[in-house]
Structure 1
Amino acid sequence: MKNIAILCDSNPVTKPRPTRLIGMLQDSYNLFVFGKECSPIQGVQTFSFPPSKSASQRSAKEQEELELACKNKDFDKLLYTLNRLVLKKSLLSLQTLDLLIVEDITLLPFALEYKDKHPQAKVMIDLREYYPLEYENDLRWLETFGAFFEYLCSTFLPQVDHALCVSEGIAQKYQEVYGICPSLFLSLPPYSSLSPSKNTKIELIYHGLISPDRESFNLLEIARELKDGIRLNLITLSNHLSFLQDFYSQAQKIPSIRLHQAQKLEEIIPFTNAFDLGLITLKPNGFNNTHALPNKFFEYIQARLGVISTPLPSIKPLIKKYGIGKVSKDFHTQSLIELINSLDLKEIKTFKNNADIASQTLNTQENQKKISNLIAKLLGEKNDLA
């Protein structure tokens, strides 16, 4: 068996893409998974390194020092942190890696350093967003951490052997700016043996992160104007504690909203199977939001839900192709409200039945074939799954 390392600057078992990638590869390769506070993974050798302080945990002085380092282009201070040096030591102690798959661009320099010492090794990166514009509406971020991510992309991306990307729009941007040609690798979940639910009232569900840059208060605006017989269920998380608290405070006052506890990654699809329609409300208020093709879209399909979305360019064609829902006529929240209020149970049943059909192909089995082909090509192997 070939030896593959997966590098995550987080706990991989809490993130959909690395978790599913591990599941797709662990029976065919010897896996070595590196993660920040990495949880044990059965059948996989894991290497854990300590966490670093998040933005909310840093003092004002610490934050100022990091931003100053960015402005001075002293990027090593952000890159070679004490916790990542623990990762580096463990990684370089391995002698026989054939492929390193990088799930977070902050760890790409360490993978390339390994390749420098072991030229036979290949490096692949999974680009989950366009990093230099992650918070593009924040000028201070663009001038500091945005500059850091631009440095990572311009310096290290041209050295990778292959790249994966979550959507065509983001892949095209990387190709235009950095000259790499990523393969589209959709965020497909494992197949779930479920049937569409049967409800007498329309149950909407939104699950996932909420934040100011996603304009997530539009969920509350939608809920306030839902007609009788429609309820909005919410499973929300946020990296902004005060934003989440304010959101919850307002949501609890809206009768058409039902708040649910967070679910584990493997439980989210069976839990949401009880509902009817999955909701996506992103607006084109930044490059990454405009070209998003989020995990939840495919999780809604596996849960046998119809999908109601704004007309995002990566989502609109898929909804039309599979007949699994509708998109609003434009990106205004009022257009989403009008669309939702116009739906009836018969139409929704058709969406859910079509999602049931689409679930047969939009799952990790298809991704497993694709990643196996890519790895075999990189390593010069014959692929038995082709």
Structure 2
Amino acid sequence: MNRSRLLILSFSPIEGDARVLKQIEGLSNDYDVTTCGYGPSPSGVSEHIRIPDDMPVWRYSRALLIARLYRIAYLRNHAVAFAHDALKGQEFDIVLANDVDAVGLACALKPVRGVHADLHEYSSRQQNSWKFRFFVRPFVEWMCRRYVARANSWTTVSEGLAREYEREFGFSPQVVTNATPFHDLEPTSCKETIRFVHSGAGLRNRNLLLMAQAVEEASNEVSLDFYLTPNNPDYIAELRRFAEGSARIRVHDPVPYRDLIATLNQYDVGLFVLPPVNFNYAWALPNKIFDFIQARLGVVVGPSPEMASYVRDHDLGVVADDFTVDATRRAIESLSPQVVAEFKRNADASASPLSSETQVMIWKRCIDHLAQQ
């Protein structure tokens, strides 16, 4: 029996894109999967169309955007044009398009059964700069109305983003969280010093120094280790200088993702207080929350609605009153080794139901539905 042909399209380095890799793993057993994106071929696919690295999709013509010639700007984008030409002549039953930039191309390919759009964030509000608001946001909103709204089904990463997509553009995505695959681990014991950990991007607008200051000022016995990717080397250098003057703070290089959960498992509490400096940050439900759960850690977060809901609903930890150093410090000071041990046990109980395996099935149901039409 011939399997339906599925194109997974993503203007990202697919081999390092955890969300797209989960799509491939969850769908390749039942579909003949072709991928199109940057970087080498991921495992488990029949064919991979590699977009040249020197064609970043974000590089649209500034003059065309200023002139509001959006269709021409989209079609002349080097990455979009390359992928269109490379895929020309191939027939797909379904295209799974990742993020807004991919959906227009997915529609142009005219798959037999339809297009599913997976929206990783709220693309029209990625930044607050005036240049983004004036030049880029109207273009992204145009893509959402012209292309994304024409897809046959949609998913996104959190309830807040799903509600806003429906309010602003009229389509209603299902939610597929950035959950982490299940790891068969046990909670480690919590010693007298509570060991906090934060892993992720080294970005200034995440205000990582706030968390470091809160740990430094806390009255209980605590420490904090950072594992950061070098997104902003200058900011990481500032953090390292702060850590050099502290007995509690350490800044490490990132570990490979395959080793991350085992590394986190040696700690007690995952810490992530994310100031809501843009819409996506305000409604963030990032993969690190699920990393913390799979590592069997307690969790301390700020009052970000999506993260706070998971922490409270599953009794995983503490939600700070606001996004300040003082509120974060008070949340940290509310913990004792005994309380943390209970949060770690709750994370252990939540690890299976909150794993990515349950989330991937939502994509599969969407794609199966299209395949059966």
Same fold (TM over 0.5): yes
Structure 1 counterpart SS, 2:109:
helix
2:101 equivalent in structure 1: 106
2:176 equivalent in structure 1: 185
Paired with 2:46 and 2:326, the residues of 1 have a C-alpha distance of 48
Equivalent of residue 85 in structure 1, options 73, 81, 84? 81
Paired with 1:311 and 1:341, the residues of 2 have a C-alpha distance of 17
Task: Mark the CA change 1:128 to 1:83 in structure 2 (over 3 Å): closer, same or farther.
Answer: closer
Paired with 1:69 and 1:246, the residues of 2 have a C-alpha distance of 39
AA at the equivalent of 1:70: L
1:14 equivalent in structure 2: 16
Paired with 1:240 and 1:145, the residues of 2 have a C-alpha distance of 23
Paired with 1:206 and 1:308, the residues of 2 have a C-alpha distance of 10
Structure 2 counterpart SS, 1:148:
helix
Residue 320 of structure 2 contacts residue 331 of structure 2 at CA under 8 Å; is this kept in 1? Answer: yes
**Aligned runs of 1:1-386 on 2, under 5 Å?**
1-52=3-54, 66-75=61-70, 76-77=72-73, 80-95=76-91, 97-115=92-110, 118=111, 120-136=112-128, 138-200=129-191, 201-227=193-219, 229-380=221-372
Residue 195 of structure 1 contacts residue 304 of structure 1 at CA under 8 Å; is this kept in 2? Answer: yes
Aligned residues: 369
Paired with 2:290 and 2:221, the residues of 1 have a C-alpha distance of 26
Paired with 2:161 and 2:76, the residues of 1 have a C-alpha distance of 27
Paired with 1:22 and 1:125, the residues of 2 have a C-alpha distance of 15
Residue 191 of structure 1 contacts residue 360 of structure 1 at CA under 8 Å; is this kept in 2? Answer: yes
Task: Mark the CA change 1:18 to 1:274 in structure 2 (over 3 Å): closer, same or farther.
Answer: same
Residue 16 of structure 1 contacts residue 265 of structure 1 at CA under 8 Å; is this kept in 2? Answer: no
Paired with 1:148 and 1:44, the residues of 2 have a C-alpha distance of 34
CA drift of 1:325 comes to 0.8
CA drift of 1:43 comes to 4.7
CA drift of 1:333 comes to 2.5
AA at the equivalent of 1:162: S
Paired with 1:241 and 1:71, the residues of 2 have a C-alpha distance of 32
Moved more, 166-175 or 261-270: 261-270
Task: Mark the CA change 1:254 to 1:146 in structure 2 (over 3 Å): closer, same or farther.
Answer: farther
Paired with 1:246 and 1:182, the residues of 2 have a C-alpha distance of 40
Is there any run of 5+ residues in structure 1 with no aligned partner, and where? Answer: 382-386
Paired with 1:354 and 1:192, the residues of 2 have a C-alpha distance of 15
Paired with 2:54 and 2:169, the residues of 1 have a C-alpha distance of 29
Paired with 2:220 and 2:158, the residues of 1 have a C-alpha distance of 36
Residue 267 of structure 2 contacts residue 297 of structure 2 at CA under 8 Å; is this kept in 1? Answer: yes
Task: Mark the CA change 1:189 to 1:130 in structure 2 (over 3 Å): closer, same or farther.
Answer: same
TM-superposition CA deviations, 1:15-59 (whole Å, max 9, x none) = 22111121111222111111112344245422211123669xx9x
CA drift of 1:238 comes to 4.7
Paired with 1:228 and 1:329, the residues of 2 have a C-alpha distance of 19
TM-superposition CA deviations, 1:108-134 (whole Å, max 9, x none) = 11111001xx4x231111111111110
CA drift of 1:228 comes to 5.6
The alignment-based identity, stated in percent, is 23
Paired with 2:233 and 2:148, the residues of 1 have a C-alpha distance of 33
Per the normalisation by structure 2, the TM-score is 0.92
Residue 10 of structure 1 contacts residue 38 of structure 1 at CA under 8 Å; is this kept in 2? Answer: no
Is there any run of 5+ residues in structure 2 with no aligned partner, and where? Answer: none
Paired with 1:274 and 1:340, the residues of 2 have a C-alpha distance of 18
CA drift of 1:163 comes to 0.7
Q: CA RMSD in A?
A: 2.2
Residue 10 of structure 1 contacts residue 36 of structure 1 at CA under 8 Å; is this kept in 2? Answer: yes
Paired with 1:304 and 1:44, the residues of 2 have a C-alpha distance of 36
Structure 1 counterpart SS, 2:12:
coil
Paired with 1:53 and 1:249, the residues of 2 have a C-alpha distance of 37
Residue 311 of structure 1 contacts residue 331 of structure 1 at CA under 8 Å; is this kept in 2? Answer: yes
AA at the equivalent of 2:152: D
Residue 24 of structure 1 contacts residue 364 of structure 1 at CA under 8 Å; is this kept in 2? Answer: no
